[in-house]
Amino acid sequence: MKIAMIGTGYVGLVSGVCFSDFGHEVTCIDSDPDKIAMLNRGEIPIYEPGLEELLAKNVAAGRLSFGGDLATPVAESDAVFVAVGTPARRGDGHADLTYVYSAAKEIAKSLSGYTVVVTKSTVPVGTNRQLKQIIRNANPDAEFDVASNPEFLREGAALDDFMRPDRVIVGVQTEQASQVMQDIYRPLFLRDFPIVTTDLESAEMIKYAANAFLATKITFMNEIAALCEKVGADVKQVSKGMGLDGRIGNKFLHAGPGYGGSCFPKDTSALARIGQEHAVPMQITETVIKVNNETKRRMVDKIEDLCGGTFNGKIIAVLGVTFKPNTDDMREAPSLTIVPAMIGGGAKVRVVDPQGRREGEALLPGVQWFDDAYKACQNADALVILTEWNEFRALDLRRVAKKMAVPRMADLRNIYSAKEAKRAGFQAYVAVGR
């Protein structure tokens, strides 16, 4: 199959590289010339484990290429995937479809022969039908179908998620489009990964419902954690006891500083807007958004209490600022709420993050960047663990405590325990829900 992938961000680049590894001939297109120049040099504009090697392998095999102009690849392709961003629109929180619509208009002009235009971006229910109309209006003679193929990969584990997915969702209107999608995903189908075929609207809804459900699970646990702190329970034991129940499952039950990232915040907010527009308020999701914001603010209070009631004049070492480990993605990371609040209160903040600096420098003005956790802790008044990168999971706590002016720790990922911290010489240790 010949595939054009429009948008080479976290989703488009991983999808394009993986499709080429399936044996398809893929051209990845992006409107950002710097990204295309990097990719043509064999460099990766994002951090995603394993991607560079897989990209190089498929470029060498002649199955994968990159470009800025979509006309020829679109004309020659059996399927054109749209994987551009759908950020939250400023003001009302709805999904901003500007990039999707402009890509659709460009695609329409170049379609030649039967083509399936596939939306991989997360888009509100009804968008694929609108896309069909936009393409039809722009090119009345085009022979095409639309398909919805929402993506569920997780940054940091994206290749494995794409190659070994829990399921692939394909929303279509015609048998011909369904056949093209089956041919594209044949390598997964042959290995018994479930491919679920639905109508367009159900496919679009599955993506929002799945993300809102996961955000709810995390947020529910964060709320239970707040109560655990008051009643003397340990949320780690509580989530273990809950997660062993097969009906609940043990994933997404870890209490922490609130969810962030490129998907949950904008997708919960878009689902809430879709509900309001159809006069079916998504009350649970609306509450989840509110509780998540409160959770992040609760973390600021927790750290301030740890610092003796004020941030003023304190040196605080922060370990991890990306929204989760193994990515350089800073979008909506809890650090973007917590770090500015500390700086605003008069703290000097030092940050260590294995991949976050490139994005984070512009987003966290006023912080000092360090390469090494121990150096960042020298003479510090508090240590805050915000993202559970592996290198922060096995710190020599004794060495850390010795270096600090006042050994105090806010462990917002529950990596260590009060007992361990005390044994290592920490005067104070706070976590989440314990």
Q: Considering Cα of 54, then 60, then 61, then 63, what sign does the dihedral take?
A: positive
Cβ contacts of 56 within 8 Å, gap of 6 or more? 42
Residues 219-258 that bind ligand NAD (CB under 6 A): none
Residue window 112-141: x/- pattern of binding to ligand NAD, with contact defined by CB under 6 A: ---------xx-------------------
Should residue 341 be labelled a site residue for ligand NAD when binding is judged by CB under 6 A?
Answer: no
Q: Which of 297, 299, 304, 295 is nearest to 346 (CA)?
A: 304
Q: Which is nearer to ligand NAD, 85 or 256 (CB)?
A: 85
**54: Cα separation from own chain's centroid:** 21
Should residue 30 be labelled a site residue for ligand NAD when binding is judged by CB under 6 A?
Answer: yes
Helices within 78-126 (DSSP H only): 98-110
Q: Which of 18, 28, 228, 263 is catalytic?
A: 263
Angle, CA of 276, 272 and 89, to the nearest 5°:
100
Which of 20, 21, 35, 270 touches ligand NAD by CB under 6 A? 35
Should residue 215 be labelled a site residue for ligand NAD when binding is judged by CB under 6 A?
Answer: no
Q: Which of 382, 387, 430, 429 is nearest to 403 (CA)?
A: 382
Q: Is residue 228 among the annotated active site residues?
A: no
Please provide the distance, in angstroms rounded to a whole number, between the alpha carbons at the two ends of the chain. Answer: 53
The CB-of-412 to ligand NAD minimum distance in angstroms stands at 22
Cβ-contact 228, 218 below 8 angstroms: no
Amino acid at 326: N
Q: Which is nearer to ligand NAD, 24 or 35 (CB)?
A: 35
H/E stretch holding 362 reads: helix 357-363
The CB-of-10 to ligand NAD minimum distance in angstroms stands at 4
Q: DSSP assignment, residue 390? A: G
**Burial state string for 293-303 with b = 16 or more CB within 10 A and e = fewer than 16:** eebbebbbebb
Binding segment (CB under 6 A) for ligand NAD, from list 78-86, 139-147, 185-193, 337-345:
78-86
Should residue 83 be labelled a site residue for ligand NAD when binding is judged by CB under 6 A?
Answer: yes
Should residue 9 be labelled a site residue for ligand NAD when binding is judged by CB under 6 A?
Answer: yes
The CB-of-81 to ligand NAD minimum distance in angstroms stands at 10
Binding segment (CB under 6 A) for ligand NAD, from list 83-91, 212-220, 345-353, 376-384:
83-91
Distances (CA, A) of 175 to 81, 112, 178, 357: 18, 20, 5, 47
Cβ-contact 42, 17 below 8 angstroms: no
Residue 345 CA to residue 314 CA, distance in Å, equals: 9
Should residue 8 be labelled a site residue for ligand NAD when binding is judged by CB under 6 A?
Answer: yes
The CB-of-84 to ligand NAD minimum distance in angstroms stands at 4
Residue 201 CA to residue 76 CA, distance in Å, equals: 28
Binding segment (CB under 6 A) for ligand NAD, from list 30-38, 126-134, 167-175, 426-434:
30-38
Which of 21, 25, 48, 155 touches ligand NAD by CB under 6 A? 155
**Burial state string for 134-168 with b = 16 or more CB within 10 A and e = fewer than 16:** bbeeebeebebbbbbbbbbbebbbbbebbbebeeb
Which of 21, 151, 332, 388 touches ligand NAD by CB under 6 A? 151
Select the residue whose beta carbon is closest to ligand NAD and give its number: 9
Residues contacting ligand NAD: total by CB under 6 A: 26
Which of 74, 79, 146, 153 touches ligand NAD by CB under 6 A? 153
The CB-of-293 to ligand NAD minimum distance in angstroms stands at 20
Interface residues toward ligand NAD, by CB under 6 A:
6-12, 29-32, 35, 83-86, 99, 102-103, 121-122, 151, 153, 155, 262-263
Residues assigned a catalytic role: 263
